[in-house]
Amino acid sequence: MTQTLRAPRSDNRLPQILDESARLFREKGYAATSMRDIATAVDMLPGSLYYHFAAKEDLLVAVYEEGVRLITDKVRAAIARQTDPWQKLEAAAVAHLEALLKTGDYALVVIRVLPQDVPKAAARLVALRDGYDNLFAQLVAALPLPPQTDRQSFRLLLLGALNWSQHWYHDGGRHSPRTIARSFLRLLREAQLP
């Protein structure tokens, strides 16, 4: 067999394209970010981007996938270090929020760009998010809660509040992502204590 595929060039600029795309998609949103914006940011001509991505939507999907992968990895790693169900959930919440607010732009794109903004790729984005949501559903399922507790609402309450924090969080604030996540969880946990 002949080696038909060549190794990618060493100074690959694809990461840079993704980085700047993530930054712009997060800052301005998907629709308001033009391919020319991205091209300018990476110091290329607009057409050159189409060597790496067939369409603007594919560029977003790539950023989105990387964002989901990033959050998922962080949360999985955080969970693995704990054994107690409540501590697992707290670790997950902290990791989730730190991924959103500290990791950078990829993660924020995931919760800022709506699937409906990218009709042709919407189903793919929704599937990616659902897979992640399932992670939290399992954590909540493992909690020792009173039998009448609505675990779905519990998950939606926590995850919604965490995701919404992007709108009011700012870097120099009194609370870090870690303390925010912890104080949310404390408010929720005290409900279930004797």
Partner DNA sequence: CTATATAACAAACAGTCGTTTGTTTTTCTA
Partner DNA sequence: TAGAAAAACAAACGACTGTTTGTTATATAG
In the block, residue with structure tokens 């060549």? 6
Which of 23, 27, 29, 34 binds DNA (CB under 7 A)? It is 34
Let me know the angle formed at the C-alpha of 58 by 112 and 95, rounded to the nearest 5 degrees.
40
Question: Residue 6 binds what, of a copy of itself, DNA, none (CB under 5 to 8 Å, by partner type)?
Answer: DNA
- Please check whether residue 90 is in contact with residue 185, taking contact to mean a CB–CB distance below 8 angstroms: yes
Which of 12, 27, 54, 141 binds a copy of itself (CB under 8 A)? It is 27
Could you tell me the two tokens for 25? 């998609």
User: Which residue lies nearer to DNA by CB, 4 or 83?
Assistant: 4
Provide DSSP, 22-49.
HHHHHHH-TTT--HHHHHHHTT--GGGH
- How crowded is the C-beta side of 143, counted as CA atoms within 13 Å? 25
Q: Is 6 in the site for DNA (CB under 7 A)?
A: yes
Question: Contacts with a copy of itself in 111-170 (CB under 8 A)?
Answer: 114, 116-117, 149-150, 153-154, 156-165, 167-168
> In whole angstroms, what separates CA 185 from the centre of its chain?
20
User: Which residue lies nearer to DNA by CB, 58 or 65?
Assistant: 58
Q: Which residues bind a copy of itself (CB under 8 A)?
A: 27-29, 31-32, 114, 116-117, 149-150, 153-154, 156-165, 167-168, 175, 180, 183-184, 187-192
